[in-house]
C-alpha cells in the first residue's frame, strides 16, 4: 500500500502543482486585482456564506461512500442510482435553506443574485466530489488525478480569454468569474458522470425510499463532522462582513481573502494526501494491516512541506503580498500600504495554521477511515466554539487579523486533539527519536529563514535559498528519505 500511495501521490502532486498554483496565483489573483478588493470581498463573503450550508448538499455521503466503496467495490452498482436521486433532493433543500437564511440576515437583491449562481456552483462541485469518491474508492487514482485538475484547467482557459483575450471592451466583472465557474464545473461533472456510469454499469435511476433513508442514517455522523469543520474553516469572512460597519466589512473581507488565497492553494496540495489516504486507510483497516508505517510516511511528508511553507510565509509575508497585489487606481499610497500590511499579518498567521491542517489530513483521515466519528465530532464542535469566540472578540479590535488568530487557534486545537485520540485508539507508541528530529527540523527551518533575510540578494532569491536549505535539512534528517522511497517503490508488491 505504501508503494501505491507514493506512486499515485507523485502523479497527483505533479498534475496539481502544474495547474492549481497557476490558477490561484495567476487567474484568481488577477480577477481580484481586476475587480478590486471591495468587489472581490463582496463575492468572497457570499462564497463562504454558501459553504456554511454545504452539508445539506452532501450529508456526509461523499466520505461515507469513499470509505464504503473502498471496502466493498461490488456495492457501486447497487448504490449509485439511489445516491444520485438523493443528491438532487438535497440540492433543492440546500437552495431553499441558503436563500432563506440569506434573506433573513438582510442580503440585498445584488447579493441574492450572485448567491443564486454560487449555489448552483456549489451543487456542481459537490456532485463532482461525490463522483470522484466512487473513482478513488475503486483505487483508480490515475483517473481521479486527471479529474482533480480538469475544472481548474477549464477555468484557466475561460478566464484567460475574458481577462486577456480582448473579446470584450467592458471592464471585467466578478459575475463573469462566477459564470465561468458554472461552465467549468458543469463540463467536469459530465465527464466524471460518464466514467462512473460506465464503471457502475448504470442503466436507469431507481427510486427506493428505504435505501435513501438507510444512506442518510449511515452518513449523518459524517455530515455533522463536515458541517462543524466547514463552520470553523469558512465562518471567518462572514463574521468580518457582518461585525464590521458599512463598506469596511467588504474591504476587510477582501483583505482577508488576499491572505487566505495562498492558504487555500497550499491546502489544495495537502488535501491530495487525504484523497489518497482515506481509501487506503479504509482498505488497510478492513484487512487488519498495521497503519503505523503509512501514518509515519504520510505525516513526515506533509509536516516537512507545511513547516517550510509556514516559515517561508512568515519571513516574507509583506514581500509576497506586495508582489501579488498591486495598488488600485482609486487607492492612495497610504491606503495601499495599510491594506498590504494587514493582509501580510493575516497571511503570516494563517500559514502557520497550515501545519495544523496538514496534521489533520493524516490523523483525521485515519480516524474517519476507522469510523471514529463520535470523537471527531466532539473535537470539531469544541473547535467551532473556539473559532466563534475568538472571531467575536478580536474582529472589532484587530479587523481581518482577528479572524486569522481565530483560525490559528481552532486549527491547532483540532489537530492536537486528533493526534491524541489516534494515539489512544490505535495504540501508537510515541517515537521520541522521530519527535526530536521534527523539533530539530523546525528549529533549522526557522534559522534558515532568519539568516536568509540578511543575504544581499533580491528577496525572491533569498526565499528560494531558504526553501532549498530547508529541503536539504529535511533530507539530512531523513524526513525526506529518498533511498527509503525508492526501496518502497521497488520492493513492495501490494
The tens digit of pLDDT for each residue in 49-90 reads 887 777 788 777 777 767 767 776 666 766 777 777 888 888
| Cα–Cα distance, 280 to 272 (Å, whole number) | 13
Among residues 386, 413, 429, which one ends one of the domains?
429
Q: Are residues 424 and 435 in the same domain?
A: no
Q: Are residues 221 and 334 in the same domain?
A: yes
| Cα–Cα distance, 323 to 396 (Å, whole number) | 28
| Cα–Cα distance, 364 to 17 (Å, whole number) | 24
The Cβ of residue 111 has, within 10 Å, a number of other Cβ atoms equal to 18
Among residues 382, 405, 429, which one ends one of the domains?
429
Q: Are residues 49 and 92 in the same domain?
A: yes
**Domain assignment of residue 436, given as a range:** 431-494
Q: Are residues 296 and 170 in the same domain?
A: yes
Q: Are residues 243 and 270 in the same domain?
A: yes
**Residue 485: what pLDDT?**
53
**Residue 484: what pLDDT?**
56
DSSP string, 406-467: HHHHHHHHHHHHHHHHHHHHHTPPP-HHHHHHHHHHHHHHHHHHHHHTTSSS-HHHHHHHHH
**Residue 376: what pLDDT?**
92
Helix axes 248-286, 109-137, angle to 10 degrees: 20
Q: Are residues 443 and 414 in the same domain?
A: no
Q: Are residues 368 and 462 in the same domain?
A: no
Whole-model pTM: value is 0.72
Q: Are residues 164 and 231 in the same domain?
A: yes
DSSP string, 34-71: HH-HHHHHHHHHHHHHHHTTTHHHHTTHHHHHHHHHHH
| Cα–Cα distance, 410 to 222 (Å, whole number) | 19
Cell of 424: 489512544
Element at 73 (helix H, strand E): none
Structural domain count, the chain: 2
**Residue 422: what pLDDT?**
93
Among residues 405, 429, 453, which one ends one of the domains?
429
**Residue 213: what pLDDT?**
80
Q: Are residues 418 and 357 in the same domain?
A: yes
Q: Are residues 110 and 257 in the same domain?
A: yes
Q: Are residues 374 and 420 in the same domain?
A: yes
Q: Are residues 291 and 438 in the same domain?
A: no
Residues of the chain short of pLDDT 50, as ranges, are 492-494
Amino acid at each position: 500500500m505504501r508503494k501505491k500511495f507514493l506512486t499515485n501521490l507523485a502523479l497527483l502532486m505533479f498534475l496539481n502543482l502544474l495547474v492549481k498554483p497557476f490558477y490561484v496565483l495567476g487567474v484568481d489573483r488577477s480577477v481580484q486585482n481586476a475587480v478590486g478588493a471591495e468587489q472581490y470581498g463582496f463575492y468572497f463573503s457570499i462564497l463562504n456564506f454558501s459553504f456554511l450550508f454545504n452539508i445539506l448538499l452532501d450529508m456526509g455521503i461523499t466520505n461515507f461512500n469513499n470509505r464504503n466503496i473502498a471496502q466493498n467495490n461490488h456495492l457501486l452498482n447497487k448504490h449509485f442510482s439511489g445516491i444520485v436521486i438523493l443528491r438532487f433532493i438535497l440540492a433543492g433543500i440546500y437552495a431553499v435553506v441558503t436563500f432563506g437564511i440569506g434573506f433573513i440576515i438582510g442580503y440585498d437583491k445584488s447579493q441574492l443574485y450572485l448567491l443564486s449562481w454560487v449555489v448552483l456552483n456549489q451543487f456542481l462541485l459537490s456532485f463532482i466530489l461525490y463522483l470522484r469518491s466512487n473513482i478513488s474508492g475503486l483505487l483508480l487514482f490515475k483517473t481521479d488525478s486527471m479529474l482533480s485538475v480538469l475544472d481548474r484547467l477549464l477555468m484557466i482557459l475561460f478566464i484567460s480569454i475574458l481577462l486577456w483575450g480582448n473579446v470584450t471592451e467592458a471592464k471585467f466583472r466578478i459575475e463573469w468569474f462566477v459564470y465561468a465557474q458554472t461552465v467549468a464545473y458543469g463540463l467536469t461533472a459530465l465527464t466524471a458522470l460518464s466514467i462512473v456510469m460506465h464503471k457502475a454499469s448504470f442503466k436507469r435511476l431507481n427510486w427506493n425510499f428505504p435505501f435513501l433513508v438507510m444512506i442518510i442514517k449511515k452518513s449523518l455522523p459524517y455530515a455533522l463532522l463536515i458541517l462543524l469543520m466547514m463552520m470553523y474553516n469558512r465562518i471567518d469572512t462572514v463574521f468580518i462582513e457582518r461585525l464590521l460597519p458599512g463598506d469596511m466589512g467588504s474591504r476587510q473581507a477582501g483583505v482577508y481573502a488576499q491572505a487566505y488565497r495562498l492558504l487555500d492553494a497550499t491546502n489544495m496540495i495537502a488535501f491530495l494526501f487525504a484523497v489518497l489516504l482515506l481509501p487506503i486507510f479504509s482498505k488497510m483497516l478492513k484487512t487488519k494491516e498495521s497503519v503505523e508505517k503509512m501514518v509515519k510516511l504520510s505525516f513526515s511528508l506533509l509536516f516537512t512541506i507545511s513547516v517550510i511553507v509556514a516559515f517561508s510565509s512568515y519571513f516574507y509575508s509583506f514581500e509576497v503580498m506586495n508582489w501579488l497585489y498591486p495598488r488600485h487606481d482609486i487607492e492612495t499610497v497610504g491606503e495601499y500600504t495599510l491594506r498590504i500590511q494587514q493582509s501580510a499579518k493575516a497571511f503570516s498567521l494563517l500559514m502557520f495554521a497550515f501545519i495544523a491542517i496538514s496534521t489533520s489530513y493524516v490523523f483525521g483521515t485515519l480516524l474517519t477511515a476507522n469510523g471514529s466519528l463520535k470523537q471527531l465530532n466532539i473535537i470539531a464542535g469544541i473547535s467551532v466554539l473556539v473559532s466563534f469566540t475568538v472571531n467575536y472578540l478580536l474582529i472589532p479590535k484587530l479587523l481581518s487579523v482577528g479572524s486569522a488568530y481565530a483560525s490559528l487557534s481552532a486549527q491547532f486545537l483540532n489537530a492536537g486533539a486528533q493526534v491524541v485520540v489516534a494515539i489512544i485508539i490505535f495504540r501508537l507508541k510515541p517515537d521520541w527519536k522521530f519527535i526530536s528530529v521534527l523539533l530539530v527540523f523546525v528549529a533549522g527551518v526557522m534559522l534558515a529563514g532568519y539568516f536568509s533575510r540578511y543575504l544581499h540578494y533580491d528577496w525572491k532569491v533569498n526565499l528560494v535559498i531558504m526553501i532549498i536549505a530547508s529541503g536539504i535539512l529535511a533530507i539530512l534528517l531523513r524526513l525526506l528519505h529518498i533511498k527509503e522511497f525508492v526501496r518502497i517503490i521497488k520492493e513492495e508488491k501490494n
